[in-house]
Structure 1
Amino acid sequence: MTEKLMETFQNLFGADGDIRTYFAPGRVNLIGEHTDYNGGHVFPCALTLGTYAVARKRDDRVLRFYSENFASLGVIETSLDDLVPDEKADWTNYPKGVMWTFEKRGYKLPQGMDIAIYGDIPNGSGLSSSASLEVLTGIVLKDMFGFDEITMPEIAQIGQYSENNFNGCNCGIMDQFASAMGKKDNAIFLDTNTLEYEYAPVVLPDAKIVITNSKVKHSLVDSAYNDRRSECETALEELKSEMPIVTLDDLTEAEFEAHKDTIKDPVRQLRAKHAVYENQRTIRAVAALKANNIEEFGKLMNESHISLKNDYEVSCEEIDILVDLAWEIPGVIGSRITGGGFGGCTVSIVKNDAVDTFIEKVGNGYKEQTGNTAEFYVVEVGDGAHRLS
């Protein structure tokens, strides 16, 4: 893959100079959805799917971008003096946003760059192709310009800041953190309020992680995501009038139930309920995994989906069909929506001897009920972003 991308880069931009290659993974979140911007815990892992870059510094301030995934757009050219969001800039708004954030933080970029990109994360799948691209840009800049003092957690924060403030999506830190800090065969148990984290081995001797791509992405995802965040922020302010809390996820389920009527709107109450309960589910799920209680982990995954469907209302018909089909198959330990919602993917833990049956029955059932063809990925847990040799 990198050889092909290098060949493309050299054909477009020339073969001379110090050309370097990089990789940043996508992620799947095993449990802990929509808790990251509510100050709670998440449990994502980096994938071996991700985004690759071939890059070289220039002698001027010109930026030239090319993506194999959007080859019809050709080379998109801009400048370090024009780091502003622009609809015509299309996908390059993500790397531009990271460059803008670097400069905003005092890391001045003295030269432009030529960058060629290729990603094998399916577009619109909810596996964090945008966060992968942001983190990828961050490590390119860190390495190319010698910003050795920037840590990988800071790269994640830069990616989140750029998506919030340059691209206008009020995402939490989880996606960028998983891409930056992933570790092979481990998931990251992250407290998004403090950024304290620990690695937890994902040891599934008799099972596999299977991602199912619904191949649908409903257009309301960005606006609805921002709406959910706003609803939770308002609910938090209402609760603060009665309780000395900093985030929704400071609450236990019992504390929430005792004070939930402080939240005046019933919809906001449901949103806050999901945040509180999902955080506690995530804490219990990680404890179950550490105790090798995979069945309990799967049960909590299922409960997570029900909450995301009914309380947070970020699922959709196609995703619910995939999950319902999965739950009917013996050997499926747990299945749930993963990612921002309104389409994208489900994540399932499936016993080894049931994987082929899972793919066949879920695939056939989904095609019959929706007319869409699902894609399946039996995934491996990989390392975080890094320069390739």
Structure 2
Amino acid sequence: MKNTIKKSMKVSFEAIYGEGGEIQHYFAPGRVNLIGEHIDYNGGFVFPCALDFGTYATVRLRDDHQVSFATLNFDKKVTVELGHILYKEEDDWTNYPKGVIRTFLDLGISLKGFDVLYYGNIPNGSGLSSSASLEVLTAVMINDLFECHLDRVDLIKMSQKAENEFVGVNCGIMDQFAVGMGKADHAILLDCNTLKYEYVPLKLEGVKIIISNTNMRRGLADSKYNERRGECDKAVAELNKVLDIKYLCNLDSEIFENNKHLIEDQVVRNRAEHAVYENLRTLEAKDTLEKEDLLRFGDLMNQSHDSLRDLYEVTGDALDIMVKEARKIEGTIGSRMTGAGFGGCTVSLVKEEAVEQFIEEVGKHYETLTGRTPAFYVAGVGQGASKI
């Protein structure tokens, strides 16, 4: 598939920018978080994997200092001078690669101009990290084209910095890390605070990952995210009347149960309970994969969603309906929301023989119950960003 897209993009690139010169191609995947939701900022682990679809770039160097951006996804084209890389709202999607270029320039790295054409098959607004894929793709491309010799983790940090400081979105590092460090047939157990990570084999013989897009934009996600962070900070402060912890996920179940009475507000206590037990579920998920126990892994996914629904309250009707319908399919091993919540996607592990039934029946019932038409993506576990 990558070779087909590569050939097609070369034709489109030459139609836009003209023929001649050395044309090069790069790819960066999307990502999905399998378990470990809303605990990265609580000192917990996340457990993402890279997907086998993502974002492509076809690029050719220029002899001047002009950079031209185009994409097959939107009509918007933008041309900038390397000496004037500024955030402009009207430049829309190009602010993400522009922000990455800015991080290279800020390090004193000398760049030349280039023409670049992007194409992504990650659904926008789905929570599968189209922005992180675009950023890491651009960073890996520039690092290779200009022989910068920066290591991959540096490129990941620069991509996050571009989104935080240039675009102005306060994202964590999980998305960029999974996109940059993904490994085929493996998930990544990642501590977002230390960036310590471990690859865990993800053997899915006879099982598929199905991403189900509710096609409901995550309108409440940002405001609720800040609210939940505040509630978790409050829980830590109240626990520290007796304990001495930095994060909720520093706690094991026994210490939490013995001290949760210190958290006076039941809602805040619920938030803390989710964080503590979601972290423990994520660590157990690693062990279950190492034992190739997908059934237990599916149970942990289900528990994760239920906790996000009942204790953390970040799911919403669309995600809950999608998960409920998914679990009715006999071949579904586990199903949960993934991402910030209040819309976006669910991730399900489904036996191969049940995939068609899953898409047909879950899609039909979800549309009947919500009035929205969902989209489904049967995904494999892919490799991190690279030249192709």
Distance 1:190 1:97, change over 3 A: same
Q: Deviations over 1:6-26 (max 9, x none)?
A: 222222223233321100000
Shift of 1:172: 1.7
Shift of 1:319: 1.1
Distance 1:230 1:109, change over 3 A: farther
Whether 1:50 and 2:54 are equivalent positions in the alignment is: yes
188-197 or 226-235, which deviates more: 226-235
- Count of matched residue pairs: 384
The CA distance in 2 between the partners of 1:81 and 1:226, in whole Å, is 36
The within-5 A match list for 1:1-389 is: 1-71=5-75, 73=76, 75-104=77-106, 106-148=107-149, 150-240=150-240, 242-263=242-263, 266-388=266-388
The CA distance in 2 between the partners of 1:86 and 1:234, in whole Å, is 37
Q: Deviations over 1:219-255 (max 9, x none)?
A: 2333433443444345445545643333332122332
Q: Secondary structure at the residue paired with 2:85?
A: coil
The CA distance in 2 between the partners of 1:185 and 1:101, in whole Å, is 31
Residue identity in the other structure for 2:67: L
Q: Secondary structure at the residue paired with 2:19?
A: coil
Q: Secondary structure at the residue paired with 2:216?
A: strand
Q: Which ranges of structure 1 fall in alignment gaps of 5 or more residues?
A: none
Shift of 1:112: 2.8
Shift of 1:272: 3.2
Q: Secondary structure at the residue paired with 1:53?
A: strand
Q: Secondary structure at the residue paired with 2:36?
A: coil
Normalised by the size of structure 2, how large is the TM-score?
0.92
Q: Secondary structure at the residue paired with 2:83?
A: coil
The CA distance in 1 between the partners of 2:103 and 2:325, in whole Å, is 43
Distance 1:29 1:64, change over 3 A: same
The CA distance in 1 between the partners of 2:167 and 2:261, in whole Å, is 35
CA contact (8 A) 2:109 2:148 kept: no
Q: Secondary structure at the residue paired with 1:278?
A: helix
Q: Secondary structure at the residue paired with 2:214?
A: strand
Shift of 1:139: 0.3
The CA distance in 1 between the partners of 2:228 and 2:83, in whole Å, is 35
Q: Which ranges of structure 2 fall in alignment gaps of 5 or more residues?
A: none
Q: Secondary structure at the residue paired with 1:333?
A: strand
CA contact (8 A) 1:170 1:225 kept: no
Normalised by the size of structure 1, how large is the TM-score?
0.92
Shift of 1:182: 0.8
Q: Secondary structure at the residue paired with 1:217?
A: coil
The CA distance in 2 between the partners of 1:229 and 1:20, in whole Å, is 43
The CA distance in 1 between the partners of 2:121 and 2:183, in whole Å, is 19
Distance 1:109 1:353, change over 3 A: same
Shift of 1:136: 0.5
224-233 or 192-201, which deviates more: 224-233
Distance 1:65 1:232, change over 3 A: farther
Q: Secondary structure at the residue paired with 1:26?
A: strand
CA contact (8 A) 1:170 1:229 kept: no
CA contact (8 A) 2:105 2:111 kept: no
Residue identity in the other structure for 1:136: L
The CA distance in 2 between the partners of 1:386 and 1:207, in whole Å, is 26
Distance 1:112 1:239, change over 3 A: farther
